[in-house]
Chains A and B, each alone.
Chain A
Amino acid sequence: MNSIIQFENIGLRYGTDAEVLSDISLSLAAGAFYFLTGASGAGKSSLLKLLYLAQRPTRGVLRLFGEDVVMMPRSRLPGFRRRIGVVFQDFRLVPHLSAFDNVAMPLRIAGMDEREVTGPVEEMLAWVGLGNRFGALPASLSGGEQQRVAIARAVIARPDILVADEPTGNVDADMAKRLLSLFEALNRLGTTIVIATHDLPLIAQVPGAQMMRLDRGRLADPTGSLRFPPRSNRAAEGRPLGQPE
C-alpha cells in the first residue's frame, strides 16, 4: 500500500486540558476514500485539523507525503497545505470576496496567472450549480450554496488529499448525493478523500470506501476493515450540481 498519511501514537491536547485524541495510529493509502465517523465530541474535527495542518500533535509521529510534519519548520508547511483541499464545517468563506474570488483563492495563492484562473473557476462554479452567482458575496448565498462554494474552493486546485468536515450537513439528500459523486470523481483521478460525517446512509452510498470510527478520542476500528459494498450512484455524475435530475 502506498501510504500518503501515517499517524503513529498520535496524541493531541489543547493547552493543559485532557487529550482530545489519544494513541491514534493509522495509515491512509494514496487514492483511497475514507469516512471518519463518531459521536459529537469524539474528536473528528481535531483529527481533521491534524490532517490539514491546522494543528500539530502534542505527541507521536505524523507523516504526510512521506515526511514527518511534527518537527518540520513552519516555513515548509504552506507547500504541504497547497496539496490538501479542505471543506470546513463552517465553510470559512472570506465574507468580502465574491464566490468567484473565494474559489480562485487557492490558485492565486499558488501564483497562477489570472488567465489560467478564470476558466477553471468559472467551470468549477458552473459544475457546482453556481454558474450564475460568480459575483455573489457569501452573505447573499444560502447555506447550501455557501457549502458548494466551499467545496469548489477545496477541489479547484486538484489536491492530493481532500479533507471535508460534514460536507453534506447543509444540503438536501439530492445535493448530498451529487456532492458525493464529485468527491468520487476526484477520488478516481487519484485524490485521497477523508470525510468526517455521522450520516451513515451517506457512507453507504460510496463504493469501496473505508470507515474509521472515533470514540472519545480513540480510534475504535484501527484496522479500517469496515468496508461498504460498491453501490455507487453513477446517474448523478456529469450533471452540474444544483440542477434537477
Chain B
Amino acid sequence: MSGELETEAQPATDSARKAQGRWLPQGRRGPMPWIITVMTFLTLLSGAAGLGLAHALVQMRGELAGGYTVQLVEANPQRRTAQVTKIADLLRREDAVRTVAVVPEQDLLKQLEPWIGKDARPEDVPVPALIDVAFAPGASEVAVARVERAVRAVAPGARIDAHQRYLAPVERLMRTLMWLAAGLVSMMILVTGAVVTVAARGAHEAHRSTIDVMHLLGATDLQIARLFQRRIALDALFGSLVGTVGATLLIWIVAGNIAELDSGLGGATAFPWRLAVLLLAIPLMSVLVAATSARVTVKRALERSL
C-alpha cells in the first residue's frame, strides 16, 4: 500500500469502470426509466406545442404587420366614389405605402347578401367603401400617422383600422398558450429532477450496507456518487430515447393532419424541421438534470455519514 494520504484515487480505466459498475446490484431497475419515458414524452409534446404557437405568432405578425383598411362611410354614391378615387391616388403617391387595393362594390354586396338579399342595388343600400392598404415593411409610425391625417383631410369620416387590432385577442390567447407550454416544459424538467432525487435517496438507503463497506475500504464520496449518477443517467438516457421516439411519431402524425387542414392559422403552427432540432434539447436536458440530481442527492446523503 502506498504511503500517500491523498483522498482522490487515480482515474479509473474503462475496465475498472466496468468492474465498479457492478458494485451496485444489476438486475431490476424499477420504474425509473419508464417514469422518465412518460415525462420526456409529455415534455416534448408541450415543447412542440409551444414552438408551433411561437412560429404561428411570428408568421401572423409578419402577415398582418402594415395591413390597414380605410373605410369610407358616405351615403352619396357619387361623393363616395370621388373620395375613394382621391384617397386611392393619394395613397399610391405615398412612399411608405406598398400596395393599395380598392375592394370592388360588388364584392362587398356579395358579402352582405345573406342580410340584404340578392336583389339589393348599391344606390338602395349605402354600403361603405373599403380600401386595403399595405404599408412598406419598416414603415415608421410617423409615416402611418401622416397618411392617416392626409386621408382624413379628404374624408373626415374615414375610419382607418389596423389589421393587427382585429387579431389582437387571438394573438394574446396564442401568446398565453405559448407561455403555458413553456411553463409546462420547465415544470416537467423540475419534476424529473424531483423524481430522480426521491429515487436516488431510495437507492442510497437500499444500498446502505454496500456503501458503508465501500467507505470503510477508502472510497470517496465522489466515487460512490458516480456509481449512482452513472446508473441513473443510463436509466434517463433509455427513458428519454423511448419518450423521444414516441413523441416524434405523434408530432409527425399531428403535423400531417394539420397540413391537410389547409387552414391559415393551422398551417402556421407547422414549424420547420430546423426548429424541431431545438426540441432535442429536452431529452438531453432530462438526462443532464437526472444525472446531476442523482449526484447531488447522493453526495449530500453521504456527507451525513462519517
| A residues neighboring B (CB under 8 Å) | 52-56, 65, 67, 74-83, 86, 92, 94, 96-97, 101, 104-106, 108-115, 117, 153, 157-160
Question: Across the interface, do A76 and B7 meet the contact criterion of CB distance under 8 Å?
Answer: yes
Closest chain A CB from B306 CB (angstroms): 6
Question: Across the interface, do B16 and A112 meet the contact criterion of CB distance under 8 Å?
Answer: yes
Query: Quick one: closest A residue to B11, CB to CB?
Result: A111
Query: Quick one: closest A residue to B20, CB to CB?
Result: A108
Closest chain B CB from A23 CB (angstroms): 22
**Docked complex Cα distance between A159 and B1 (Å):** 5
Closest chain A CB from B221 CB (angstroms): 8
**Docked complex Cα distance between A109 and B6 (Å):** 13
Any A CB within 8 A of the CB of B73: no
Closest chain A CB from B5 CB (angstroms): 4
Q: In the complex, what residues of A have CB within 8 A of residue B11's CB?
A: 111
Known A54-B306, A109-B223; judge A81-B16 contact (CB<8 A). Answer: no
**Docked complex Cα distance between A57 and B213 (Å):** 20
Known A92-B209, A112-B10; judge A65-B5 contact (CB<8 A). Answer: yes
Contact with A along B202-238 (1 / 0, CB 8 A): 0000000110111111111101000000000000000
Q: Select the residue from B4, B7, B11 with max chain A CB neighbours within 10 A.
A: B7
Which of B19, B210, B212 interacts with A104 by CB under 8 Å? B19
Any A CB within 8 A of the CB of B15: yes
Any A CB within 8 A of the CB of B281: no
Q: In the complex, what residues of A have CB within 8 A of residue B141's CB?
A: none
Within 8 A of A (CB), among B4-55: 4-7, 9-13, 15-16, 19-20, 22-23, 25-26
| B residues neighboring A (CB under 8 Å) | 1, 3-7, 9-13, 15-16, 19-20, 22-23, 25-26, 209-210, 212-221, 223, 303, 306
Known A54-B306, A55-B306, A101-B19; judge A109-B218 contact (CB<8 A). Answer: yes
Question: Across the interface, do A79 and B5 meet the contact criterion of CB distance under 8 Å?
Answer: yes
Which 3 pairs across A and B sit closest by C-beta, in order of nearness?
A111-B10, A82-B218, A111-B9
Q: In the complex, what residues of B have CB within 8 A of residue A54's CB?
A: 216, 306
Which of A76, A105, A109 interacts with B9 by CB under 8 Å? A109
Q: In the complex, what residues of B have CB within 8 A of residue A111's CB?
A: 9-12, 16
Query: Quick one: closest B residue to A110, CB to CB?
Result: B9
Which of A53, A75, A94 interacts with B23 by CB under 8 Å? A94
Query: What are 24 A-B interface contacts by the 8 Å CB criterion?
Result: A53-B306, A75-B7, A75-B221, A76-B7, A77-B306, A78-B218, A79-B4, A79-B5, A81-B218, A83-B1, A83-B3, A86-B217, A96-B22, A96-B25, A96-B26, A97-B23, A104-B19, A108-B16, A109-B214, A109-B217, A109-B218, A113-B13, A115-B15, A117-B16
Closest chain A CB from B298 CB (angstroms): 15
Query: Quick one: closest A residue to B5, CB to CB?
Result: A79
**Docked complex Cα distance between A157 and B4 (Å):** 13
Given contacts A55-B306, A106-B217, 14 further A-B contacts (CB under 8 A): A67-B5, A77-B7, A78-B215, A79-B6, A92-B209, A92-B216, A94-B213, A96-B25, A96-B26, A101-B19, A105-B217, A108-B19, A113-B15, A115-B15
